[in-house]
Amino acid sequence: MNKLSYKISEFAENCGVNKETIRYYERKNLLQEPSRTSTGYRIYSSDDVKRVRFIKRVQELGFSLSEIYKLLGVIDQDNIRCQGMYDFVSQKEEELQKQIEDLKRVETMLKDLKQRCPDVKQLHECPIIEMLIVD
Partner DNA sequence: CTTGACCGTGTACCTTAGTACACGGTTTAT
Partner DNA sequence: ATAAACCGTGTACTAAGGTACACGGTCAAG
- Give the interface with its own copies as residue ranges (CB under 8 A): 49-50, 53-54, 57-58, 60-62, 75, 78-83, 85-86, 89-90, 92-93, 96-97, 99-100, 103-104, 106-107, 109-111, 113-114, 117-118, 121-126, 128-129, 132-133, 135
Instruction: Give the one entry of its own copies, DNA, none that residue 3 binds, where binding means its C-beta sits below a cut-off of 5 to 8 angstroms depending on kind.
Output: none
Per residue, the 3-state secondary structure of 21-46, as one string, reads: HHHHHHHCCCCCCCEECCCCCEEECH
Distance of alpha carbon 22 from alpha carbon 13, whole angstroms = 10
Q: Which stretch binds DNA (CB under 7 A): 34-42, 74-82, 90-98, 100-108?
A: 34-42
Pick 20 or 112: Cβ nearer its own copies:
112
Chain mean position to CA 15: 16
51 binds DNA (CB under 7 A): no
State the nearest-atom distance from the C-beta of 79 to DNA, in Å: 27
7 binds DNA (CB under 7 A): yes
Exposed / middle / buried, residue 78 (Cβ in 10 Å: 0-12, 13-18, 19+):
exposed
Residue 6 φ then ψ, to 5°: -120, 145
105 binds DNA (CB under 7 A): no
42 binds DNA (CB under 7 A): yes
Distance of alpha carbon 109 from alpha carbon 97, whole angstroms = 19
Tally the C-alpha atoms within 13 A of residue 58's C-alpha that lie toward its C-beta.
22
Q: Residues in the site for DNA, rule: CB under 7 A?
A: 7-10, 17-21, 23-24, 36-42, 59, 64-66
